[in-house]
Structure 1
Amino acid sequence: MLRNLERGQLVRLYVVLGAEAVDPAHPAHQYFVRREQSTYEGFERLVRWKTHPDLAARELLAFWTGLERQWVMDPSVDFLAVWDNFADRFFVAS
């Protein structure tokens, strides 16, 4: 996460390209489908201690991608503060 904060333009490019690749005809569509699935699976392993790791991984992925989009749209969003606030609640035993 901290690495991404240092590479704002790269995150912006990734967010924009990912939005464009929603179209199945887009040349990068399969890349983004595989990348999101891989990230989801990694998150699921990370939160296997949760009651429903599959749902928790989906929530974490949705939060992360949504926060990235908000930060790209409005760089004044304090990414780290929002992330820390979320993490304080999310990463506690359920």
Structure 2
Amino acid sequence: MTSNESGRRRRGPYAKSAARREQIAQAALQVFGARGYRGGTVQDVADAAGMSQTSVLHHYPNKQELLIAALKRRDAVTDGTPGTGECFAQSIVEQAQFNEGAAELIELYAALCGESTTSDHPARSYFEARFERLRGEYGAEFEFMKSIGRLRPGVDPHVAGASLLALWDGIQVQWLLSPDDVDMAGTLKAYLDLVILPES
């Protein structure tokens, strides 16, 4: 047996296992997005994945691990790289436009974000860390805009960052409920146009 043949044999089961884990994570995303964490069950995830509950628990030993896998899958698809410098506003609008084509991921986020405010929810620390990170990132982006004279006078960069995050989460929920009546990307652009001055 050559070394290449040996390597292929070793990678085969690993690749199959990785694909199975991804399949389960996608199923968990669908289930928790539609029913919330408390409403969805491991059996629901197994049914959505087309496998037994035992097989699911072989890859993710409990419901909490399934939740984290679903959130990570959501992040991998919908979280873009933070914009830098003068591309920040454009990157936000483009990410919102992309998100409009990923409704099930937005459903998952909205359902679990609301649930996570309870003290014992397994996703609470995930959302706390996420909001802290994004407030810092957005605040830093607005600080840069201020440094080059493009932040409207009187606007606090860190308040603007927290406001953008709050607006984005809120407009996503409105869009989920009335997608034909709400322009998520357009609403975010309108806010950014209010606080960021056009290039001179």
Question: Which of the five TM-score ranges fits, normalised by the shorter chain?
Answer: 0.7 to 0.9
Q: Displacement, 1:84?
A: 2.6
After TM superposition, the score normalised by the length of structure 1 is 0.86
Letter in 1 for 2:106: V
Partner of 2:56: none
Tell me how far apart the structure 2 counterparts of residues 24 and 92 of structure 1 sit (CA, whole Å): 41
Residues 53-82 of structure 1 deviation map (CA, whole Å, 9 limit, x = unaligned): 111111111111111111112212122332
Any stretches of 5+ residues in structure 1 without a counterpart? none
1:39 equivalent in alignment to 2:134: yes
Q: Displacement, 1:9?
A: 1.1
For residue 72 of structure 1, the aligned residue among 164, 176, 196 is 176
Q: How high is the sequence identity, in percent, across the aligned residues?
A: 27
1:13 equivalent in alignment to 2:108: yes
1:53-64 correspondence to structure 2 within 5 Å: 53-64=157-168
Moved over 3 A (4+): none
Letter in 2 for 1:29: R
Instruction: Say how many residue pairs are matched.
Output: 93
1:28 equivalent in alignment to 2:123: yes
Tell me how far apart the structure 1 counterparts of residues 170 and 196 of structure 2 sit (CA, whole Å): 18
Letter in 2 for 1:67: I
Tell me how far apart the structure 2 counterparts of residues 84 and 39 of structure 1 sit (CA, whole Å): 18
1:52 equivalent in alignment to 2:156: yes
Tell me how far apart the structure 1 counterparts of residues 98 and 117 of structure 2 sit (CA, whole Å): 25
Any stretches of 5+ residues in structure 2 without a counterpart? 1-95
Larger gyration radius, structure 1 or structure 2: 2
Distance change (3 Å), C-alpha of 1:44 and 1:32: same
Tell me how far apart the structure 2 counterparts of residues 55 and 81 of structure 1 sit (CA, whole Å): 21
| Structure with more relative contact order (C-alpha pairs < 8 Å, separation 6 or more) | 1
Report the 3-state secondary structure (helix = DSSP H, G, I; strand = E; otherwise coil) of the residue aligned with 1:56: helix
Partner of 2:91: none
